Amino acid sequence: MTVGNLRNAQLTINLHAIYSNIQHAVKRLDPGTVLFQVVKADGYGHGAIQVARVAEKAGAGGFCVAILDEALELRHAGITKPILVLGVTDPELAYLAASQNISLTVGSSEWLRSANKLLQDSHAMRPLNVHLALDTGMGRIGFQTPKELEEALGLLNDNNDRMAFEGIFTHFATADSQDDSYFKFQYQNFEDFMSVVKNKPKYIHVANSATSLWHKVCGGNMVRFGISAYGLNPSGREISEVPYELKPALSVTTELDFSKLVKKGRSIGYGATYTTDDDQWIGTVPVGYADGIPRALQGFSVLIDGHKCPIVGRVCMDQFMIRMPKNYPYGTEVTIIGRSGDQEITADDVADYLKTISYEVICGFSSRLRRKYV
C-alpha cells in the first residue's frame, strides 16, 4: 500500500516512551533472566525495526516475532541478537532459518522428523535452534502431554547435530485477569511437563507482559515482553495497578480538510444515518477505514482544540465527518488517539467503544498512514 507522505495524517511514535517502558521491565528482572522484546505485526504497528533498535539500547537480549518473514526483516536490517519465531513455520524453511540463526517454535514430533530430514539433505552448516511449545491450557499450539514431549526430546537428543534444543515455553491465557485460578492450573501443567525435561535448555520462558507485571513464577529465565513495551496495560482496565508507569508511545493525528455550516434537517454520509437537528458546523477529516479508522467508530469522538467532536455519519473509506462546536479552518489538528488541550483519547478508549482490546486497535492502522518517530 502506498504511504501517504504528502498529507498530514500520521502515527507519531515516541521512542523515548518505548525505551522507558522496556528499561523499567529490564530493571525488574531476576538475575540471569533476559527480556526478549516482541516486535511481531510490525512492532504492534509501531515499526519493528525502529522498536528493535530502541529495545536493544534499553537492554533487550533478543526478539520474538510471529512469522519467519518478520525475523528475516530484522536480520536484513542488521539486527544480530537472537530471534524466536513464535508461530509454526513450514519445516521446509528450517534450513533458511538455521542459516540466518533464527530460532523456530516446534509443537509436534512430526515437525521435528520432517525438518530433520530436510536439514540432513541440505547439509546445513549449523544446527537449527528450536523452542518446544507446551499447550498447558491455551489450546493453540504445542505438545499436549508430557509423553508427547518426551518423544520430542528423544528426537532432539538423537539429532542434536542438526537441531539444538534451545528453549521451552508455554503461554498463559488469563495472566491479565484478576481471577488467577486458571493461571495456577496452567502453571501446574507446566511444572508437570518440566518434570520430564532432564537436561534444561538455555531458555525457559513462561512470562508475557501480563505475567511479568502481576505474577511471580519460578523456573523461567526469559520474558517475552509485548504490549507493555508500547505503554499499554495488557488487561485493559481490569487490573489498573501496575508496578511502574506505562507510557503510551503511539498517537494518531491528522487535520481538518473541510468545514461547512450544515442547516437543520440535512443528512451526513452513506446511508443518511445522521441528520442534523439544528444548524451545525460539520468538519471533514481525510482518513477512513482504509487507514484503520473502523467504520464502527461512528458516534465516537475525536479531539479538536481540546474539544470532543463526535463522528457523525458512517466512516468512509478515506474520510469521516465530525460535529464541531464552532468553525475551524482548514489544517486544524484532529487528534484520534492522543492528547489535545486537557483532553485525552487512549487506545483503550477506542477499544472500549469497539468492544475489543487495545492490541487490535493499534495493530489495525494501515501502512497508508505514515509513521513519524520522535
Backbone torsions φ then ψ of 105, nearest 5 degrees: -85, 135
Distance of alpha carbon 288 from the chain centroid: 22
The CA angle 12-16-19, to the nearest 5 degrees, is: 120
The answer to whether the annotation marks 194 as part of a ligand binding site is no
Report the b/e string of 279-306 with b at 16+ CB within 10 A: ebbbbbbbbbbebbbbeebbebbbbbbe
Cβ neighbours for 275, distance < 8 A, ≥ 6 positions apart? 265, 266, 267, 268
Cell of 41: 505485526
- In the chain, count H helices and then E strands: 11, 20
| Separation of alpha carbons 55 and 302, rounded Å | 31
DSSP 342-362: TEEE-HHHHHHHHTS-HHHHH
The answer to whether the annotation marks 339 as part of a ligand binding site is no
Neighbours of 161 (CB within 10 A): 11
- Note whether 276 and 215 are within 8 A (CB): no
- The helix/strand/coil state of 202 is coil
Active site residues: 40, 270
The CA angle 355-359-360, to the nearest 5 degrees, is: 60
| Separation of alpha carbons 312 and 268, rounded Å | 7
| Separation of alpha carbons 275 and 235, rounded Å | 38
| Separation of alpha carbons 359 and 2, rounded Å | 24
DSSP 101-112: TEEEEE--HHHH
Residue type, 163: M
| Separation of alpha carbons 304 and 307, rounded Å | 5
Binding-site residue set:
140, 317
Binding-site residue set for substrate:
140, 317
